[in-house]
Amino acid sequence: MDIIYPWLEEVDALILASPVYFYGLTAQVKAMIDRCQVFWNRSWKDPVKEDNAKKRGALIAVGATRGSKLFEGAILTSKYFFKALGMSYCRELLVRGVEAWGAVREHPEALIAAQNLGRELVFNRCHS
């Protein structure tokens, strides 16, 4: 986190990416998010500056199955992660039916959508 904290404070846009494990983000991603409680605590004392609110975050998640609620946990956690950072949540890119390593390459439309999401974030065209 000593490496990640300054980076989280400096970025203008951030994509959080994770596969779904047991209907949530992976433990590794969640552990990083949990260490961001410090930003949430700080925001009570030092309300988010206008500049920070212009920073944008988005979620990319994949899962093997196709259930309608597959990404609900990941989305909710991600929204509060970006809120803790004082960033506005842009939107999510969700890809179902991705299981084996590298299987996302069989979803060219998802790869294009990921590129578009990156562009939207960089050019500030992303609105929640």
Q: Which of 22, 69, 105, 127 binds ligand FMN (CB under 6 A)?
A: 22
Give the angle subtended at the CA of 59 by the CAs of 111 and 22, to the nearest 5°.
100
CB of 113 to ligand FMN, least distance (A): 16
**Coil, strand or helix: which one is 22?**
coil
CB of 66 to ligand FMN, least distance (A): 8
**Considering the rule CB under 6 A, would residue 28 count as an interface residue with ligand FMN?**
no
Instruction: Please name which of 125, 97, 95 lies closest in space to residue 112, comparing C-alpha atoms.
Output: 95
- Which position has the token pair 């986190």? 1
Q: How many residues bind ligand FMN (CB under 6 A)?
A: 13
Cβ proximity of 25 and 18 under 8 Å: yes
**Window 33 to 62, contacts with ligand FMN (CB under 6 A):** 62
| Size (the chain), residues | 128
In terms of CB distance, is 84 or 104 closer to ligand FMN? 104
Q: State the residues that interact with ligand FMN by CB under 6 A.
A: 19-23, 62-65, 70, 98-99, 101
